[in-house]
Each structure stands twice: as C-alpha cells, then as structure tokens.
Structure 1
Amino acid sequence: VGYIGFVPPQIMVWDKKNLEGNVVAKDIKETAEKLIPQMKKEGADIIVAIPHSGVSTDPYKLGAENSVYYLTQVKGIDAIAFGHSHAVFPGKGFENLQGVDNNKGTINGVTAVMPGRWGSHVGVMALVIEQKDGQWQVVEGQSEARPIFDKATKKSLAEADQGIIRALEDDHKGTREFVNQPIGKANDVMYSFLALVQDDPTIQIVNLAQKDYVERFIQGDPDLADIPVLSAAAPFKVGGRKDDPNGFTEVESGQLTFRNAADLYLYPNTLVAMKVKGKEVHEWLECSAGQFKHIDVNTTQPQSLIDWDNFRTYNFDVIDGVEYQIDITQPPKYDASCKVINPDSQRIVNLTFNGKPVDPKQDFIIATNNYRAYSNTFPGTGPDFIAFDSPDENRSVVAAYISRVSEEKG
C-alpha cells in the first residue's frame, strides 16, 4: 500500500516567510498524475492519497486550492483521506454534487472521507480488494465519518489511549501552564455573537492592538512615521460555517490569560503592514462587504442578510481608523474571491477619516496579517503594497497589548 500527501500551492502565499526559497509547491492534480504512475512502478498495489484540500466541482484550473474532486479522476488513486474545509464527508452538503455517492462515501467511484475538524470525527474507509492477474485491486469501498466528540457535553465519545496520555503528559501540562498565564484583565465581557451586524469588542481589541503595534514600530521612520495607521481584522469565530453554537468567542470579564488571547485571535498569523492609497482602502472594504446579500427594498418577503454559503466570515474585514457605512441595497461589487462582478456598484458610502471624506490618493498604512497581506486577493494586498513584515504573531501582539494597557490603566 502506498501513501502520498498533497498540500495546496497556496501555502506559498499563506506561509511565504517560512517557505519561500525552501520549498516548491506545485499543482495537486498535475503532481499526482506525475507521481502515481511512479508509485505503481515501484510496487504500490493500492494507493491512498492524503491531501490537505477540499472539494470543488468548478472547472479544473491549474493551482486550484480545493482539488480532491480532480484527484478522484487521476488513474491509480484508490482512496482519499482529506481535510481542509472543516466539513464532514460523507455528509450534509455533498449530496447534490455530480459523481458523489453520499451513502457509500465515494466521489467518482473513489472511496473518500473527510473527518470534520479539531478531533470531531474519525474517518474510516473499508476497501474490498482482490487479486487479479497477479495484482491487488480495489473492487469496492465504503467510508464513514464517525463522531467522536459530543459538542453539547464537550466530552469525547472515544476511549482514551493510556499510552498516548502518558507520552504526552508533560507536554500537555506545560501547554496548559503556558496558556493559563495571566496577561491582564478585562473590565467587561467580550463576545462575538453579533460580530457580523454591529461593532464588536472581539474585533475591536485586535484592531487596537495591531494599530498600536504599527504606530510604535514606525516611530522615527522617515518614510512611514507621518502616514495615518489603520487596522483590519475579521471575526474568526462567529458561528462556524453557520449555526454552530460553539463557534463563537466569549471572554469573561476579570483576569485574562494567553488562552483568551488565542480565543480572540484564532490563527498563528504574523502581523504585516500594508502601504496603500485611499482608493485601496475603499476597495478593500468593498470586497469585505460581500459578506452580505443584496437586499431588495421592494419586497415584503423575508430576506437573508448574511451570505453563509459563499462568503467566509474570516474575509469580513472591519477597518478601524476610518468611518463608513455599508449599503446592502446595492449588489456586492466583488464576489467571495474578491473578483469584480458588479463594476458599477458601490456599497461603501460616507467613508471618512478624521471627519473628512477619504482622498483616493491619500497614503494610509493598514495593519493586517500575513495571510491577508500575501494573498493578493483583496485590493491593496500583495508584495507590492507591503510596508513591513513583522516577526511577531498577531495573537502575541494582542496579548502584549492587553498586558500593557492593563498595567497602565489598571
């Protein structure tokens, strides 16, 4: 049995600082078509692919992030264990995709499984093989994603392996001690329950921390010190992909620990500052405004506000330092990938800085993260706009800010 793993080529953008010059990431399907025959020649009867990738039935495009569907079309792959989009396969949401058998757990006849996220499920694939003409072949397969965690009780449904517990005991204890270190205090509760529809404290504290960091960083810099600093942050935990009651940030008032900072900033991103013009600030916000559906003021029928299906909430950037409104009676200018779909539309209105309309030619610095900065998707992102690249993680920036402000203000 041969195993082969794949990662999306986008890692060269997401983790550019660590990977550039050290690794080369190529297209998943193209790489499989080259290496699977080689694995067969070297004696692999059965081949299991393990891609960090999701499922998309969009027409194949070189460099696609979600390539599992295309992998099932590569001759020689017998089974696929995959994950990236935090979903469960076989499961809800896949039943209408062409080539998917949700009962058997196959895609284009290839047995496949995606076991949710964060230890929620364990993926099981059962393959029936037989020997034919001197070679073993898969003749049938079945997969399932078995739940191993009860979200309601927050307890595991699986029996713990005592050997693993003993092996990890010291590391686990050390991790708990680290994340439970006090870093400051909060005078009020912070939660993300309404982060998509009103000013939100969990986004605000991230923006305040990022803005403060950049302003301190550029002090004395002849090229940057006089440029106004803004900050962009998005709600990472706001109901999961929709309707997940456990997928929110909630920080109680009182003592705060590094665990709270990690809850406020979920990902291990690093801080990056972008130098942009007022025009890019406006267009950055236009892309972010794609979070909302187009509301028809002429109908009395109920209408959904949030576009859960197509737009990920981690792309709903809120920019602090300017004031603006979002007119959802206008269609979105950009789709979820920041591609222009309605060039004449304008949702962002009354965009002001210090009470005055933002000049499209005015310079600004936007504090953000490496994922956004190097994505080259949002207007104002990409290598050409980078002012500086910080070595510090955003969550550490948040923790340090909380610590300093708590010390200064008590």
Structure 2
Amino acid sequence: MKKNGFKVFIVALMLLSLCFGTLGAQAAYEKTQPQTITVLGTTDIHGNVWGFSYENDKETTNTGMARIATYVEQVRAEQPNVILVDNGDTIQGNIMTDDLYNKREGAHPVMTAMNMLGYDSMTLGNHEFNFGENLITRLQALANFPILSANMSRHDGTMAALPYTIVERAGVKVGIIGLTNPNAPRWDGEKVDSFIYSPVGPACKKVVDIIKNKVDLIVVVAHVGMYPEYDEEFGSDGANKILELCPEIDALLVGHAHSTVSEIIGNTLVGGARNLGREVVRFDITLNTDRQVTSHAVSVIDMAGFEPSQALRSEPFIAKTHQETRDFISGGVTSADGTTSGGIFGKASVDFQPKNEIMGMPEGKLRDTAVMDLINAVQLANSGADVSAAALFSDSSDIPAGDINYGTIFGIYKYDNTLYRVPVTGAELKAYMEWSASCYNQAMPGDLTVSFNPEKPGYLYDMFSGVDYEIDLSKPVGQRIVNLMYKGKPLSDSQKLTLAVNNYRYSSALKAQKLVAATKEWESPNSIRDMLVQYIQENGTIYPKVDNNWKIIGVDFTSPYREQVVKLVNEGKLEVPYAKSLNVNQLKKDGILK
C-alpha cells in the first residue's frame, strides 16, 4: 500500500509538473501574440433584473439584466478575452429594490444577478447612496467583484471603496478605475455625511499616475455625463474633464445621463448607454506583441433583439424575488418595514391625467392637472405647510380609471422620498419657482407651442399649490413668475410661509442652489408614497380635482394657424416640438403654412 501510495504521489507530481509547464508555455505564448480585449459596460440599470415593469405588471421588450445576460453569454462564446463592468445606479429604481430588498438584510437580487453574470467591477453611482451607508457596506459584502470609487473617501482620509482594480486577460493587464458622481451630497444630504467626494478629473489623474506603468490598458468607469451638470466652470462632475486631464486612458464608460454615447475623442474610446439595461456599451481593443494598441472601436448594442436569459430568470432567489414583488403589489406580502401594499385599495373614477393635445408633449407639464393637485394636496395635509411643491417624474405618469394598487402609486411617484416642511420668505419661494420655470424655453414672437429646455430634465420641473401664479414664457429665465398671489393677495417678498417639499429637492435645489436660508423644521416619518396610499385607502374612490391655480402665458395659443399645426404634428408630418417650439413665421418661410 505504501509503495502504491508513493507511486500515485510521483504520478501526481509529474502531472502537476506537466500541467504547470503547459500553463507556463500557454502564458508565454499569449505574451508573444496579438490580443483583442473586449470590455462590455452597463450603466444605470436601476434595479431592472427581470425585464419587467412592476408599475403595470407587464414584461418589457428591450430592458433588463436577463437580456444583458444573453448578450454577454453570446460575446463570451465568440471572444475569449471579455471584461464586464458596471457604472452604477444599479440597485435603485423599482418596487423590488426600493420597497423590499434595499431595506432588508441578507441577499439582494441585483447582486445575485451580477454575480451570476460574472462582473469584474462595479462603480458606485449616486443612487447607490439613497438608502444610506449601510446598504453600501452590504453591497460590498455581497459582491464577488470589487466595488469602486476613486474619488470618495471618509473624513479620516481612508477610502470608502477601492479606487481601482487590475484584471488580466491573455496576459494583458487592464486597469479599471471607478469614479462616483461628486454631486451625491446635493441629492442625498445627511445620508452621505460620512463621505467626502472629490472632482472626478483630478481623482482620475491621481490613480492613472499610480497604475499606468503597471498595466497595458486603462479603462475608466465614471458615473457622470459627458458635460458638467452643475460645475460648468471647473468641470468637477463632467467626463470631459477626465479626458482633458487623462488623455492616455484607452476607454471611458460614462453614465448618469441615460443617453447613448459612442465616439472616439483623441485616442480614447468613449461610450454611454441608456437606462434600465436597454443598451450595452462595447469596447474592442487590439494590442500587438509589444502591447501597443493597433486598433480600437466602440459600439452601443441595443438589447431589443435579445431574448431574456432563462438561466438567470430561473435562478431560485431571483425567481422568488420577482414573484414576491408582484405579490407585494397585489397585497400578499409585507415590505421590509412590515407594511403592506394593500393590494387593490381604491378606485379612480376616471383618468386623472388629461390626454395630450400634441403627440409627445406631456399635458401634465403644460397645465394644472388632477395628478399634481392630488400629490400637492396630500403633501399639504400631512405637513401642515402653507405651500407645496412636487414634480411629475415621468411624462406618462397617470392614475388611470379603475382599480388602484401600489404599482399605480409608484407610477406617479417613483422615488422613496420623505417630506420636509421648510420656512421660506415670499422672495425665496419666488426664487424657487423661477428656478423651476427655467425648464421651459423662452417663447419667441410667432411661437405656437411651448417647448422644454433639453438641458433641464423634466423631473426638475416643480408645480406649486397654495399660491396662484402665471408663467410668462415670453420673458427670460428669472423673470417668468408673474401675478403671484397668496390667499387672494399679492405675495410680498417679506411674507413668511412654510413649504412642503421632498428631501431630494430640499438638498438638490433649495440648499444646493442657495434658494432658501432656513433649514427644515419637520420631516415625515414615512414616505410620500405611503401618504398617497393612505389617502386613497381612506377615500376609497377618488375623483379628479383641479383648481387651475397656475397657467402658462406669453405663447400665442389663439393663433388661427395653431389647430392646423397641431394636426400636422399628430399626423407625423411635423416634428414633435419638445425641445424647440413650432413658430408660425418659420413655418411660413419653410412653405408649410400659406
């Protein structure tokens, strides 16, 4: 037995030697061969694992990590040297994440899916911080890959996440640097008090200088848009500053803006994708035997053509969480804090949102509607404030006629915001209203339609209750709020009021824009969504109420040409005037109107 055991031991050693020799030879061979590295990047998935809209209980046709899984599997079958990275805003955004699993301990369906897909890194986005530091720590413990943020630290100077990771494929070393949007404190206030965020450009350069002699390629995964969102002067929150300071990087994945980007700037591939897993960015980089880049390309792949991965959907925990979310909406499961969605808890007598007069132009942002009046009425009732402000987060948000469940409420109020009551003066309230009205373009003589400033997302447009006012779009930004009345009298600059506003707007606008001096004097113990649910439960059937306390002026809505122009848009013969108004003078010049 001893002799036989010794022989087995010798054979095992010989096999190991042969194996390591083969591996060594393979590694040596790889270093002498040209190699193509494919980097796949996702961004702003916002919790969409399944490819499902929980608000209306329907499958989607072009979104979700399940479709991404199918595409990634296909690329890996064709290309051996694949790296998969994520650019943040990954674990927030739907009922499954926000109402159930972001508030629980233990496993998380998004992290389970990411582990299944074999991600090589994830950069923290701003929405990762919506639920506080504990969720960040939990994600780091659940992930089978490094979570990155090179521009975020704690107050004692220690890093709160890894600044970079190095991944090797076929002997090629690829450095991956993660950068978080430095505006997180604007949006999450006290939730991020333990962190310090640095400008993305200088932070990136610091890490590039550390790793550039250790790697063959540098990929930057930055949760910012191409251009600064707030800091136009110094570009601390824009990807163009990264490119300016770090021209040697090979690829840059951007995000946050939910827009498609595919270009080459200098020698750097730059890519960005739309949200919810609708697109995947692909970088292909070929290196010669001296590890010099000989060719490179960037493309953005639409996920509409890919079937969802059944392997991912059938994973027991993911399948369970998907069904549990649907059951929560129908009333069969309680949330993490012990509350229930209530199943069907009310009815709407009719549709609360009016039909769009012009195709593609959201009527809910052009006039007062029952949806906004409901939200503001609930905020006023719960806060005891004099004035309330709220936004229509989606152009299509509505309470349709019929049964109301939690998905309906999520559809009109998708964020887990709490409500603040803030002391303001009349002058401060007007300044806030002017900030909101900057979401419109200025109307020019001859304009027949209203249009929106493409640089100002619709979710930044707040509508106000408790005051009466007009928005004169013939005037420039900062001078549009006219005939502002409170309780039937002109609002004076010195008038003292209280304002109901959500925690996000308080941080990102009232404080970040220095619109209001006072701090909040009250915060709700529950979310605004919970308040809306409670109101509808108490009333049973709800009826639309519109007080028409505001309207737009300064645009020629009475022109004899307007009906004809609206008809041309609705027939698809004229472009939807979302970002540029239709003007009678220009239409005549173009020969469209006689």
Shorter-normalised TM range: 0.7 to 0.9
> Which among 496, 512, 534 is matched to residue 363 of structure 1?
496
Compare CA radii of gyration and give the structure with the larger one: 2
Provide, for residues 164-184 of structure 1, a one-character-per-residue CA deviation record: whole Å limited to 9, x for no partner.
112210011111222343232
Change (3 A) 1:366 1:138: farther
Higher helix share: 2
> Which among 394, 398, 406 is matched to residue 528 of structure 2?
394
> CA–CA distance in 2 between the matches of 1:198 and 1:323?
13
> CA–CA distance in 1 between the matches of 2:285 and 2:525?
46
> What is the aligned partner in structure 2 of residue 142 from structure 1?
297
Q: How many residues align?
A: 345
Cα offset, 1:10, TM superposition: 0.7
Instruction: Tell me the amino acid that sits aligned with residue 371 of structure 1.
Output: Y
Change (3 A) 1:183 1:82: farther
Equivalent residues of 2:189, 2:507 under 8 A apart: yes
What SS class does the counterpart of residue 326 from structure 2 fall into? helix
> What is the aligned partner in structure 2 of residue 187 from structure 1?
349
> CA–CA distance in 2 between the matches of 1:51 and 1:81?
6
> CA–CA distance in 2 between the matches of 1:372 and 1:260?
23
Change (3 A) 1:171 1:324: same
Cα offset, 1:204, TM superposition: 1.8
What SS class does the counterpart of residue 122 from structure 1 fall into? strand
Cα offset, 1:377, TM superposition: 4.4
> Which among 82, 86, 107 is matched to residue 265 of structure 2?
107
> What is the aligned partner in structure 1 of residue 157 from structure 2?
none
Asked if 1:46 is matched to 2:217, the reply is yes
Change (3 A) 1:302 1:407: closer
What SS class does the counterpart of residue 86 from structure 1 fall into? coil
Equivalent residues of 1:187, 1:253 under 8 A apart: yes
Cα offset, 1:278, TM superposition: 1.1
Provide, for residues 254-285 of structure 1, a one-character-per-residue CA deviation record: whole Å limited to 9, x for no partner.
22111111110122333222210111111211
> CA–CA distance in 2 between the matches of 1:56 and 1:8?
12
Equivalent residues of 1:293, 1:304 under 8 A apart: no
> Which among 376, 386, 394 is matched to residue 207 of structure 1?
376
Q: How does 1:41-190 map to 2 (within 5 A)?
A: 41=213, 43-56=214-227, 61-62=233-234, 64-65=236-237, 67-73=238-244, 74-90=246-262, 105-132=263-290, 136-149=291-304, 157-167=305-315, 168-180=318-330, 181-190=343-352
Q: How does 1:304-315 map to 2 (within 5 A)?
A: 305-315=450-460
> What is the aligned partner in structure 2 of residue 154 from structure 1?
none
Instruction: Tell me the amino acid that sits aligned with residue 435 of structure 2.
Output: C
What SS class does the counterpart of residue 349 from structure 1 fall into? strand
Equivalent residues of 1:284, 1:379 under 8 A apart: no
Q: How does 1:238-317 map to 2 (within 5 A)?
A: 238=395, 248-296=396-444, 299=445, 301-302=446-447, 305-317=450-462
Cα offset, 1:295, TM superposition: 2.5
Mind listing any 5+ residue stretches in structure 1 that lack a counterpart?
Answer: 91-104, 150-156, 216-227, 239-247, 334-345
Taking structure 1 as the reference length, the TM-score comes to 0.77
Counting aligned pairs with the same residue, the percent is: 24
Instruction: Tell me the amino acid that sits aligned with residue 287 of structure 1.
Output: W
Cα offset, 1:110, TM superposition: 0.9
Instruction: Tell me the amino acid that sits aligned with residue 451 of structure 2.
Output: I
> CA–CA distance in 1 between the matches of 2:472 and 2:542?
39
Cα offset, 1:44, TM superposition: 2.7
Equivalent residues of 1:289, 1:332 under 8 A apart: yes
Per mean C-alpha deviation after superposition, the further-off stretch among 204-213 and 287-296 is 287-296
What SS class does the counterpart of residue 196 from structure 2 fall into? coil
Change (3 A) 1:203 1:290: same
Change (3 A) 1:349 1:274: same
Cα offset, 1:52, TM superposition: 1.0
Cα offset, 1:391, TM superposition: 4.7
> CA–CA distance in 2 between the matches of 1:119 and 1:302?
38
Equivalent residues of 2:348, 2:541 under 8 A apart: no
> CA–CA distance in 1 between the matches of 2:228 and 2:266?
11
Equivalent residues of 1:37, 1:76 under 8 A apart: no
Instruction: Tell me the amino acid that sits aligned with residue 521 of structure 2.
Output: A
Cα offset, 1:15, TM superposition: 1.3
Change (3 A) 1:139 1:273: farther
> CA–CA distance in 2 between the matches of 1:139 and 1:370?
50
> What is the aligned partner in structure 1 of residue 475 from structure 2?
330
Change (3 A) 1:214 1:170: same
> What is the aligned partner in structure 1 of residue 43 from structure 2?
none
Change (3 A) 1:390 1:20: farther
Equivalent residues of 2:259, 2:275 under 8 A apart: yes
Cα RMSD for the two superposed structures? 2.5
Asked if 1:385 is matched to 2:385, the reply is no
Cα offset, 1:249, TM superposition: 1.4
> CA–CA distance in 2 between the matches of 1:178 and 1:137?
54
What SS class does the counterpart of residue 190 from structure 1 fall into? coil
What SS class does the counterpart of residue 427 from structure 2 fall into? helix
Instruction: Tell me the amino acid that sits aligned with residue 202 of structure 1.
Output: V
Taking structure 2 as the reference length, the TM-score comes to 0.54
> CA–CA distance in 1 between the matches of 2:471 and 2:481?
5
Cα offset, 1:120, TM superposition: 1.4
Change (3 A) 1:131 1:381: farther
Cα offset, 1:14, TM superposition: 0.9
> CA–CA distance in 2 between the matches of 1:370 and 1:139?
50
> Which among 155, 178, 188 is matched to residue 5 of structure 1?
178
> What is the aligned partner in structure 2 of residue 232 from structure 1?
389
> CA–CA distance in 2 between the matches of 1:210 and 1:372?
14
Instruction: Tell me the amino acid that sits aligned with residue 404 of structure 1.
Output: E
> CA–CA distance in 1 between the matches of 2:328 and 2:265?
43
